Amino acid sequence: MIKQIQLRGQTFTLHSSGVLYWNSKDMLLISDVHLGKITHFRKYGSAVPLKAIHGNFRILSAAVEKFNPKTICFLGDLFHSYKNNEWEFFESWVINTGVSCLLISGNHDILPETLFEEINMEVWPELVIDDFLLTHHPTERTPYFNISGHIHPAVRLNGTARQSMRLPCFFRSGEQLIMPAFGEFTGSHTLLPEPKDEVYAITPEKVIQVH
C-alpha cells in the first residue's frame, strides 16, 4: 500500500490513494482533488453518480487517519469550479478533521480567499520549506527540489499478451516530483518516462515502481 523514497536526504511515503507523506515534517501533501467538479458535471447533465462526491471525502479521511498528520498541504486545484454544495461538505470536513490545512493555489482555485480564511486555511502561491519548493505547476528553480501537481500524470503498462493498462502515478524526473491527481473523475495525462526517470504507479491496493 505504501512505498518510501528519499528526496534530498528526506523520507517521503507514497500511498496508494495518491497522497504523499513528508515524514520529518509530519505533513500530508495532496494534489488536484477538484472538489465541486462532480456537482458541476451533474448540473449540466453528466451521469456521474452522486456517491462519488462522498467517495472523495471518504478517501481523504482514510488518508488522514492513516498518517495522522500535523498539517495537510493541498497542491492546487482543490476546488474545481465556483462555489457549490461540495464546499459545505469540505468546510465541514476541515472543521471535523481538526488538522491545520493550507492551499497552494492552482489554476482552478477561483474561490475567494475569504472562504478559506473563515475555516482558518492559509492560501499561498507557492511555499519553500528547507530544500523543497511546493507549487501547483511543475517548476524548475535552482537550488530547490520541486513537488507539484497539475499534470495528472499516468503511465501505460504493457503486458506480454498485448494487453495494456493505464495507471495514475507519482512521476520523478530530475529535481521534480509530480503527484497524481487525487480526485475522482479528474482525467489523466500519459507521460513517457526517460531512462533516468522514476515512476511509481498506483492501484487501489499498492504503489508499484515501474522499471
- Domain CATH for 135: 3.60.21
pLDDT digits (tens, 9 = 90+) for 73-89: 999 999 877 777 788 88
Residue 85 or residue 179, greater confidence: 179
**pLDDT tens, residue by residue, 23-65:** 999 999 999 998 875 554 544 445 455 666 678 889 999 999 9
Name the H helices within 11-117.
37-43, 51-67, 85-97, 113-117
Confidence of residue 147 (pLDDT cuts 50, 70, 90): very high
Residue 158 pLDDT exceeds 50: yes
**Rounded CA gap, 11 and 23, in Å?**
6
How far apart are the C-alpha atoms of 120 and 95, rounded to whole Å?
Answer: 9
Structural domain that includes position 126? 2-210
Q: Distances in Å between the alpha carbon of 152 and those of 138, 167, 168, 180?
A: 11, 11, 7, 5
Q: What is the pTM of this model?
A: 0.91
**Quick one: pLDDT at residue 161?**
61
Cα gap 201→210, rounded to integer Å: 7
Distance, in Å, from the CA atom of 60 to the CA atom of 58, rounded to the nearest integer, reads: 5
What are the angstrom distances between the C-alpha of 129 and each of 25, 27, 126, 163? 9, 11, 10, 42
Q: How many domains does the chain have?
A: 1
Q: What's the burial of 78, exposed, middle or buried (CB within 10 Å: 0-12/13-18/19+)?
A: buried
The band of 159, judged by pLDDT with boundaries at 50, 70 and 90, is low
Q: Is the pLDDT of residue 110 over 80?
A: yes
- Of 205 and 50, more confident: 205
For the chain, the 3-state helix, strand and coil shares in percent, each to the nearest 5, are: 20, 35, 45
Mean per-residue pLDDT, 136-151: 97
Alpha carbon 197 to its chain centroid, in Å, reads 20
Q: Do strands 127-129 and 122-124 pair parallel, antiparallel, or not at all (unpaired)?
A: unpaired
Report d(CA 28, CA 147) in Å as an integer.
Answer: 12
